[in-house]
Amino acid sequence: MISSSLAASLARRNIHYSWVVIAVTFLTMLVTAAAVGAPGVLIVPLEKEFGWETEQIATAFSIRLLLFGFMGPFAAAFMNYFGVRKVVCVALVLITAGLFASLAMTEIWQLILLWGVVVGFGTGLTAMVLGATVAARWFTERRGLALGMLTASSATGQLAFMPLMASLSENYGWRTAIMLICALLLVAVTAVFFLMRDRPADIGLPAYGDKEITPVPPIIGGLMSLITMPLLALKEASRSSTFWVLFATFFVCGASTNGLVGTHFVAMCGDFGMVPVVAASVLAMMGFFDFFGTIGSGWLSDRVDNRWLLFWYYGLRGLSLLYLPYSNFSFYGLSLFAMFYGLDWIATVPPTVKLATDRFGREKAGLIFGWVFAGHQLGAASAAYGGGFARTEYQTYMPAFFVAGILCLIAALLVLTLSKHSKTNMMPEPVPAE
């Protein structure tokens, strides 16, 4: 096997194979996030070619974002049962097939089926749960750094490819942009097939920071048992006010990031006379600042009260969104917005994960965060549709951006209702071994 030979070669150079796995996972999350975010620059081309309204196109995007979030808790079950490598390969092939088939679409229902359902299901299998699973299995030391890198890759991937996608769409048509994403997905699935392994024990290694190999645990129960486990965790967590505060604030996080800005920012700038390539460059600038902001947030979450981190993140994001209409939509004004807004695009993830772990315990944290992340994508889907509705009905996106800014300020206050230390007692349940 290529992975075994490469692991042995790296070991002679005192390099742990976990960093190869992180690199492959980083590439996977980067490319799949690009598949999630790229359609944001294609709204106008689709309107021009097919005559579809923004609200209709936004419906497909909303379904994609919903599935991207609600598949998360169950993706962990599939990874436990079938293995990370198999699940990721299937997901990447599914996304590629959905995007490739869309090259021949002519009806709105085809857009909803392919970009909404098929791509949404595939990207949902490679959401935040993939990064959390890989970091937990392959790292004992530097796990926070690994998770911060993978989180940043997911957020940055939604923005970094925007200028190139916009340029290709403008000069060669939107189908060329989609073909680029398909090519990148094929590169990623090849890397996963040859280099990804489910656990360090598969190639005879301990996790990074461990001295002994941890044997692969047996799976207790069948697939149905693993699928129902997230539902049981949700049932228990829903009795806690802490869960609902995290769910509600993450709903606002999704609504104010990839749901509204990620989906509609380029089209909104076009309404003010900015060409798509320049508007997409502003989004890419956000991705640049987000990469460092998210990693820095992970570092801060180990040292600062996470409630106050979230207070400042949501508060500053809300003020940024309220400032946006007064930026005159000049490149300078939008660059200022991109810097402040981009720094906390997804910086909310590390402190939210930390709060979930502190309140619900390490055994439950992954499942609980999966449902909290579902709230994030529910908010994203609502904003994606709401933004399209506002533009169709009122010929402007401004009401949607004002609402998002106000919701961020409410979320900033809501997170302070959490007590500083409030471990939530949840009834123990049989947990299948990973």
What span, in angstroms and rounded, lies between the C-alpha atoms of 145 and 17?
16
Residue 57, classified by CB atoms within 10 Å of its CB into exposed (0-12), middle (13-18) or buried (19+), is buried
User: What is residue 368's three-state secondary structure?
Assistant: helix
Which pLDDT score, from 0 to 100, does residue 423 have? 55
Positions of the chain with pLDDT under 70:
1, 39-40, 144, 155-160, 217-223, 362-366, 421-434
3 Cβ partners below 8 Å, 6+ apart? 17, 20, 194, 195, 196, 197, 203
54 Cβ partners below 8 Å, 6+ apart? 43, 47, 267, 387, 388, 391, 392
12 Cβ partners below 8 Å, 6+ apart? none
Which pLDDT score, from 0 to 100, does residue 357 have? 75
Q: Which two tokens stand for residue 201?
A: 């024990």
The neighbouring-strand residues paired with 208 are 139
What span, in angstroms and rounded, lies between the C-alpha atoms of 272 and 301?
38
**Rg value, the chain, Cα:** 21
Q: Give the torsion through C-alpha atoms of 100, 105, 110, 112, to 10 deg.
A: 70
346 Cβ partners below 8 Å, 6+ apart? 151, 152, 154, 155, 253, 257, 290, 294
Which pLDDT score, from 0 to 100, does residue 407 have? 96
Q: For the segment 114-158, what is each residue's pLDDT rounded down to a tens digit?
A: 988 999 889 888 877 787 788 878 887 777 677 777 877 776 666
Which pLDDT score, from 0 to 100, does residue 430 have? 40
Is the Cβ–Cβ distance between 159 and 37 less than 8 Å? Answer: yes
Q: For the segment 95-119, what is each residue's pLDDT rounded down to a tens digit?
A: 999 999 999 998 999 999 998 899 9
Enter the DSSP assignment of 339.
H
**What are the CA-CA distances from residue 386 to residues 121, 358, 394 (Å)?**
22, 34, 11
Which pLDDT score, from 0 to 100, does residue 272 have? 86
Which pLDDT score, from 0 to 100, does residue 44 have? 81
Question: 171-187 in b/e burial notation, b at 16+ Cβ within 10 A?
Answer: eeebbebbbbbbebbee
Distance, C-alpha 401 to centroid of its chain: 21
How many helices and strands, by DSSP H and E, does the chain display?
21, 0
Q: Domain boundaries in the chain?
A: 2-198+222-416
Q: Is the pTM of this model over 0.85?
A: no
Which pLDDT score, from 0 to 100, does residue 421 have? 62
Backbone angles phi, psi at 139, to 5 degrees: -130, 135
Q: What's the CA angle centered on 17, arms 195 and 357, to 5 degrees?
A: 100
What span, in angstroms and rounded, lies between the C-alpha atoms of 342 and 293?
8
What span, in angstroms and rounded, lies between the C-alpha atoms of 340 and 317?
8
What span, in angstroms and rounded, lies between the C-alpha atoms of 128 and 370?
8
Containing H/E element for 202? none
Backbone angles phi, psi at 208, to 5 degrees: -60, 125
* CATH class of the structural domain 2-198+222-416: mainly alpha
What span, in angstroms and rounded, lies between the C-alpha atoms of 53 and 59?
10
